[in-house]
Copies of this chain bind each other. A is one copy, B any other.
Amino acid sequence: MKLNVVGTSPPMKGSGEKTTGTAEYTVDMKLPGMLYAKILRSPHAHANIKSIDTSKALAHPGVKAVVTHKECRILYTVTHGSAREYGLDTKVRYYGDKVAAVAAVSEKAAEEALELIDVDYEVLPAVFDVEKAMEPNAPVVHPERDDCDGNILDVSVQEWGDVGEGFMKSDIVIEKRFTTQRVCHCAMEPHAMLASWDGDGNLTMWSSEQTAYMIRDSLAEALEMPRSKVRVIVPPYVGGGFGGKYESSEKIVLAVLARKAGRPVMLRLSREEVFHTTRTRSPCIFETKTGVMKDGTLVARYIKAIVDIGSYAWGAIISSRAASYMTLTYKCPHIKYEGYGVFTNTPPSGAMRGYTSTPIHYAMEAELDEIADTLGVDPSEFRLKNQLHVGDIIPVNGLPVSSSGLRECILRGREAIGWENRQKTKGVEGGAKKRGIGMACYSHYSPMLRSHERSVGNAVLKVNVDGSFHLLLGVPDIGQGLRTIMAQIAAEALGGRLDEIDVTLADTAVTPWGTTTAASRSTMETGGAVKMASEDMKNRLLELASNTLGVPSEDLEAVDSRVICVSNPDESMSFSELLNHPDVFHTGDNVIVTKATYNVPTFIPPYGAAFADVEVDTETGMVDVLRMVAASDIGRAIHPESVKGQLEGGIQMGIGYALTEELKLDPETGAPLNNNFLDYKLLRSLDMPEMEVILVEPVDPNSVYGVKGIGEMAVIPMAPAVRNAVYNATGAVVRDLPITMERLLKALKS
C-alpha cells in the first residue's frame, strides 16, 4: 500500500502556537467574574476532623465561599468501582489530604483565608510502611470500607500452568526481592481546572486532563445529574499527562465550591501540591522466584507483589493487572502471580506511564540478568532463546502473537550499543571508573490485553463546501501529538490535505464518546475509528462524483483533495468543485457527516529492547549513563519524529526511575520532603546521555495501518537496562530502586 501522509513527519498541529507562546493552557483561562480556589490540606497523616470553624475565613473580604465535608462529603469515583474517595471527608488519611476549599477573588486572598480556618483534629496513629500496614494490629486507613481486609484492598492470584510443578522440573530455581520507589509524573503543566455553573443548573468544567468523558461521568454520578447537564472540556493544549491527569479528586470539590460561590472558580494546583497530592507511581515490593533449565529455558516464574496504593484506591488496579505482563514477552509454561494492593497513610498512588508494567518489568528484567549470570549465558541470547514468536499463544488472553519485531529490536539494538564491547568494557583495569552495558526487553498493554476488555474508538468527520474537513474526537491531546496523528490518518484515508483538517477534541457536549488518552491506546483505538469514518467520507464523495462525472465509483480515487478517474487521470475534479456542483449543493447532499465506532479486533503486542552504556565511579557510587539505545517495535510510525520524541522522553523518565527520582516522605510524619524541582532530582536536558532510537516496523496485520502503541512502552525497559548495565559494569547487586550512590557504594562494598 502506497502511503502519502502516514509515515511522514510534518510540523505538528499547534507547533506554531507552542513555539510562539500563544498556546493557551487551562491555567491561562479566565472567565468574567472568575474566582480562584485554594485547598486547605491536612498537617497530619491520619486524623479525625472533630470540628471545622470557617467563620473567620468567610469574613475575609476577598472570600466568596468555603466548603468543608458538610457540603462535600460526596463519593467520587473514577476508572473503577473500588477507586473512590469523598470530595471532603470527616477524616484525613495522608499528610496533604483535603480538608476544606476556599473560593476568593485572588489566589492570594484564598491562601490568606486558608490560614483563617480553624480545624480541630483528633490525631490517629498512622502507618507508612506497606509491610507493616499488612500486619494484624496496624492502624487501618479505611475502617469504613467493607471491601478491605484490614488495609489489604485487593488480592489477586493468577496462575497459568502449575508453578509448583514447574519449580520441581527446573534445574535451577532462583529467588530474589526487588523494590521500586514512589516517583512523580512531573508534567510541565500543573493540574488546573475551572468550574462554571450556569443559571439553569448546568455545570461546565475545563480541566487539564487525559479524559473528558470519564471525568464527565464521574462528576455527573457524584452530583446525581444527567450527563447532558455536565460538560467537560479538555482545552486543546495539555502540558503532559503520563497517567497523572485523570484521577485527581479535587474536581468534585471544585464543582461544589463553584456552585456555592455562584461564580466560575479556577483551581490551579501548586507544583508542591502536584508532587504529593495528585497520585504517584505506586511503590512496589516484588518477591520473585524463577525456575530455568541449564540450557537457559524458562520453566516457571512466580512473583509476589505488594503494591503500596497509598491512602486512596486509585492505584489498586496495578495489583490485578500486573500479572498480564508476566505472559507477554517470553515463553514460560508455568506462571503465577500473587498481588496485594495495600493502603498506607501516604499520598495516593495511581496511574503512571506503564501503569502496572514499568515496576514489574524492572523486577522481571533485572532478575533475568541475574539468572543469565548464574547460567553463564549472554543476557541477550538468553532473551532471544525464550522470546515468544508470531503465532505463539499469549496466556493472559489466549490470543496468538500477531506480529513481533522483538528479535529485530534485540539484534539492531545490540549492534547500535556495541554489545560486543560488553565484556571488554566490564571492569576495565586501572581506575575507579567501570564501563558496563545492559539491556532489557518489554512488551506491554494494548487494547484487548485481556480479551474481555472494552476497546472502543469513535470519530465524527464533517466536510466543508471547499473540501476542507473537521474531525471530532472524544479524547484529548495531552502533548504527544494526537491531533496531528489523527489528522494524518484522516488525510491518508480520505485523500485530503493534512493542513485542511481541523480537529476538535474532548468536549463532551460536541465530540463523540471517547475514553482516556492513556494506556498507549489512542492511535490504535481512536485511530481505527478515524480511518473508518474517513473511508466512509471518501466513499460518499466518490459516489457523488460518480453521479456528477458519470464515471463508476470503482474507477475513482481521491488524492490531494481531488477526485481522479483512475483509468483517465485527465478527468478529475476538486472536492470543492464537487461539493459546489449544483446537483450536490442544492439537495444538501454536500452536507456530509460520517461517524465510526471501531473495536480493536485483537491484542496487538508491542515489543522492544533498550540498551544502556554506563560508567560507574566505584569510589563515589556515581553512575553516568553515557549512551542509550531504544529499539522499539511500534508496528508502523504514523509520524516517525513524534514517536522518536516519545522514546527519548521515555529514556529521560527511565533513567530518573533507575537512578535519581524518588518522592521522599518524613518517616515520622509522612510529610513530603522533596516535593519541588530543587530537591526532586528530575533529569534535565543537560543530564541526558547520547540517545539512539530505532524504529522497527513489522506492520501488524490487525491494526490500523499496522500501528502499535508507544506512549508508555517508551519508558518501560529503560530502568532495568540501566540497572543491568551497572550490574554488568561492577558486578554489584542492587535490587532496590533508585540506585543511589549510597546504595551502590554499599553493594560495591559487600
List chain A positions with a Cβ less than 8 A from chain B.
13-24, 28-32, 198-202, 217, 220, 226-229, 231, 452, 454, 456, 458, 460, 462, 464-466, 468-470, 472, 499-502, 504, 507-513, 585-589, 591, 593, 595, 597-599
Contact = CB atoms under 8 A, between A and B. Distances in A.
A21 B16 CA distance: 38
Contact of A599 (B13, B29, B502, B588): B588
Given A18-B199, A465-B513, 13 more contacts: A17-B198, A20-B199, A30-B30, A227-B465, A228-B464, A228-B469, A228-B470, A229-B502, A460-B460, A464-B513, A470-B509, A587-B599, A588-B598
Contacts of A511: 510
Nearest to A28: B32
Report the copy number of this chain in the oligomer: 2
A588 B454 contact: yes
A472 B507 CA distance: 13
Contacts of A460: 460, 593
Given A28-B32, A456-B591, A17 B200 contact: yes
Contacts of A198: 16-17, 22-23
Given A198-B17, A201-B16, A509-B502, A466 B591 contact: no
A319 B469 CA distance: 37
A468 B227 contact: yes
Instruction: Report the 9 A-B pairs with minimum CB-CB distance, sorted nearest first.
Output: A456-B588, A17-B199, A228-B468, A16-B200, A16-B199, A227-B464, A20-B199, A228-B502, A226-B468
A464 B231 CA distance: 12
A510 B591 contact: no
B32 A32 contact: no
Contact of A500 (B226, B454, B501, B512): B226
A458 B28 contact: no
A452 B585 CA distance: 12
Nearest to A466: B227
Contacts of A470: 228, 508-510
Nearest to A19: B199
A217 B580 CA distance: 13
Contacts of A585: 454
Contact of A591 (B31, B452, B504, B513): B513
A49 B280 CA distance: 66
Contacts of A597: 588-589, 591
Contact of A595 (B30, B593, B599): B593
A469 B229 CA distance: 10
Nearest to A462: B512
A19 B469 CA distance: 39
